[in-house]
């Protein structure tokens, strides 16, 4: 069951590169930066994920990143999801995310699984929302 909204952000893709593959399926590495909130605290998120095209045309993504607040607190994350290419050329991602932090204001995240909506458009703009998964 979905719980509280943990965070939301907007940003853009900052880099892409094609990865070597042994199984013949295309693979890419994508990096992004975004700003928004995490537990109602202003934050900047930087992440990189690998995207693999599956035989049915959907994408599998595996990523990691770091979220930093203006006062220097940090939260790291690891997420995985499934992506669907949109008619306009973007990708809609849905998946799960897990956090790790020593920051007191974010201790709630340490034992929390989140579910995310991460969408990219054809110009590389990104938007995301993360909800607690109860």
Quick one: 99 exposed, middle or buried, by C-beta within 10 A (0-12, 13-18, 19+)? buried
Q: Indicate the pTM of the whole model.
A: 0.93
Residue 24 clears pLDDT 80, i.e. is over it: no
Whether residue 44 contacts residue 67, with contact meaning beta carbons closer than 8 Å, is answered with yes
pLDDT given at position 23: 76
pLDDT of residue 111: 87
Q: Tell me phi and psi for residue 107, to 5 degrees.
A: -60, -30
Q: Is the pLDDT of residue 98 over 90?
A: yes
Percent of the chain with pLDDT over 70: 100
Confidence (pLDDT) at 53: 92
The predicted structure's pLDDT at residue 57:
92
Tens digit of pLDDT for each residue in 41-63?
Answer: 999 999 999 999 999 999 999 99
User: 106 pLDDT band (50/70/90 cuts)?
Assistant: very high
- Provide the number of structural domains found in the chain: 1
CATH of residue 111's domain is 2.40.160.20
- Can you give the residue range of the structural domain that contains 90? 2-133
Instruction: Give how far Cα 127 sits from Cα of 10, 15, 35, 117, Å.
Output: 4, 16, 10, 8
């Amino acid at each position: 069951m979905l719980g509280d909204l943990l965070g939301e952000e907007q940003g853009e893709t900052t880099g892409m590169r094609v990865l070597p593959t042994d199984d013949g399926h295309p693979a890419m590495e994508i990096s992004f930066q975004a700003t928004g909130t995490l537990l109602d605290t202003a934050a900047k998120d930087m992440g990189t994920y690998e995207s693999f095209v599956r035989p049915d045309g959907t994408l599998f993504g595996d990523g990691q990143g770091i979220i930093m607040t203006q006062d220097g607190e940090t939260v790291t994350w690891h997420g995985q999801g499934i992506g669907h290419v949109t008619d306009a050329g973007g990708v809609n991602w849905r998946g799960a995310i897990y956090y790790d932090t020593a920051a007191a204001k974010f201790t709630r995240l340490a034992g929390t699984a989140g579910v995310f909506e991460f969408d990219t458009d054809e110009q590389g703009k990104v938007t995301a929302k993360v909800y607690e998964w109860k």
